[in-house]
Amino acid sequence: MNFDYTDEQEAFRREIREWYEENLPDGWIEGDRDLPDDEDEREQFLREWQRKLHEGGWAAIHWPEEYGGRDASLMQQLIYQQEKARVNPPPERSEIGVDLVGPAIEGFGTEEQKERFLPKILNGEELWCIGYSEPDVGSDLASLQCKAVDEGDQFRINGQKIWTTHAHKADWCYMFTRTDDSGPKHHGITALIVDMDQEGVTNERIRQITDEREFNQVYFDDATTPKENVLNEVDEGWEVAMRQLSFERISLSQSLDLERRFDELVEFCKNETRGGTPLVEDPHIREKLAEFDTRIQAAKLTYFRNVSKQMNGDLGAEASFGKLYDSEVAADLHRFRVKLGGPKAALWGDDSPNGAAKDSLANISIRIGGGTSDIQRNIIGERVLGLPKGDQE
């Protein structure tokens, strides 16, 4: 057991740090992290950032070099995560493509598909969305109903997807469709790549509780996609949905960001006063801060433990610790931040103290998306601890 980094690893850290310090938007490191309010300007801003990342070689360090990555080792990926958490860079426009679509294409795609799609994911030229959920299909993905009918040289798609992040600006949709409903529900699912720019595809943006509109309902009315856009075999999409990502990717954790959040909160408590006394002098607040300090360290240390196991090649289902534990700590931390805002916590936008209200709301989606906290507890109960599966499975 050790917590040291080699000279080579430290050099890599410096390289990342220097690049970010040079290339982050003006004022970003100093704490001016506002994105443009106007949607078009924001898109332009994010597109520009993604372009810079790509040029710097940082868009997907875990991808193989032949597709524009760096073949980064798990340790390098960890260091990269740490450095990103330190500077809290702008969101990555190609994140969905890099993290979820690219690996699926790499793992299941034909050579033609890889050549056609992977480079443009990385340079941000093409944006992707993913069609998983449907109005009646949430955690139980295998019961999906959106239909794709084989017409010889193409599939004709009818149905609806929902909660589709970025569908309103995506060029492509990587989606799961029902091609056969005669057998068990896990069979007869087909993974398709579908061009979003066609008459048969329309979308309606969903207004979220944060007043953002990143989610969509997407309607497929006789949309089509050519046969060459099938991923894996027809009817064998479940395998694509369930498999481990193919690029060796370090497991991710919110804990590194939470550490920075905590530092920011401590600063806030030192500067903010009530009745002339800084919040940080209130014994109750001090104790709560210590509690968060501990829980965040527990999250981070357990993350390090799991990452170390991953590096040694023996990380199992216990990797599911992070999503649940971290998001619960985050939920409590953000609620606490809202409370510390005082009466002013009634305000929104730039006037919201510490921006806490929005963080607190946004964290709810982290607890729901990508397998709800309830599903995470099922996974832990069944896959880590070996408890009997429920009736639903």
Partner 1 sequence: MDFTLSDEQNQMQESVRDYLESEGGIELARRQMDGEDVVDEVWDGLAEMDYPALSVPLEYGGLGDDLLYLSLLFEEAGRVALPGPLPETLGFTVPLLAELGTDEQKEQFLPAIADGDLRASVALYDDATESLPGAIRMEAEPTDDGYRLDGTKTLVPYAESVDRVVVPARTRQDTGYDGITLFFVDPAAAEAEQLDTLDKTRPLYELTFDAVEVSGARLGPVDGGGDALKRAIDRLNVSMCAMLVGGADEAVDRSVEYGKQREQFDKPIGQFQAVKHRIADMWLDTEAARSLTYYAAWAIANDEDDARQAVSRATWYCTERCGELFEDDIFNHGATGYTWDHDGHIFLKQAKTWANLLGSPTEHRRRIADIRL
Q: Does 381 bind partner 1 (CB under 8 A)?
A: yes
Triad 240, 242, 245: Cα angle to 5°: 75
* Closest CB 124 distance from partner 1, rounded Å: 31
Triad 71, 76, 77: Cα angle to 5°: 80
- Kindly tell me the sign of the dihedral angle through the C-alpha atoms of 58, 62, 65, 67: negative
Catalytic residue among 15, 248, 318, 382: 248
As beta bridge partners, residue 192 has: 175, 230
For residue 159, is it left (φ>0), alpha (ψ between -120 and 50) or beta? Answer: left
Q: Does 268 bind partner 1 (CB under 8 A)?
A: no
Query: What is the DSSP-derived secondary structure letter of residue 317?
Result: G
Of 307-366, which residues contact partner 1 (CB under 8 A)? Answer: 307-309, 311-312, 318, 321, 324-325
CA nearest to 159, candidates 149, 148, 146: 146
Q: What is the largest CA-CA distance in the chain?
A: 75
Catalytic annotation on 248? yes
Nearer to partner 1, 128 or 303 (CB): 303
Q: Residues in contact with partner 1, total (CB under 8 A)? A: 51
Nearer to partner 1, 350 or 391 (CB): 391
Q: Does 291 bind partner 1 (CB under 8 A)?
A: yes
Q: Does 72 bind partner 1 (CB under 8 A)?
A: no
Q: Does 287 bind partner 1 (CB under 8 A)?
A: yes
Triad 145, 214, 377: Cα angle to 5°: 65
In 271-286, which positions are buried (b, 16+ CB within 10 angstroms) versus exposed (e)?
Answer: ebeeeeeebbeeeebe
Q: Does 297 bind partner 1 (CB under 8 A)?
A: yes
Q: Does 85 bind partner 1 (CB under 8 A)?
A: no
Q: Does 30 bind partner 1 (CB under 8 A)?
A: no
Tokens of 242: 């369930």
Stretch that binds partner 1, among 117-125, 178-186, 188-196, 301-309 (CB under 8 A): 301-309
Nearer to partner 1, 237 or 322 (CB): 322
Length of the chain: 393
- Residues tagged active-site: 248
Interface positions with partner 1 (CB under 8 A): 1-5, 75, 78, 266, 269-270, 280, 283, 286-287, 289-291, 293-295, 297-299, 301-302, 304-305, 307-309, 311-312, 318, 321, 324-325, 374, 376-378, 380-382, 384-391
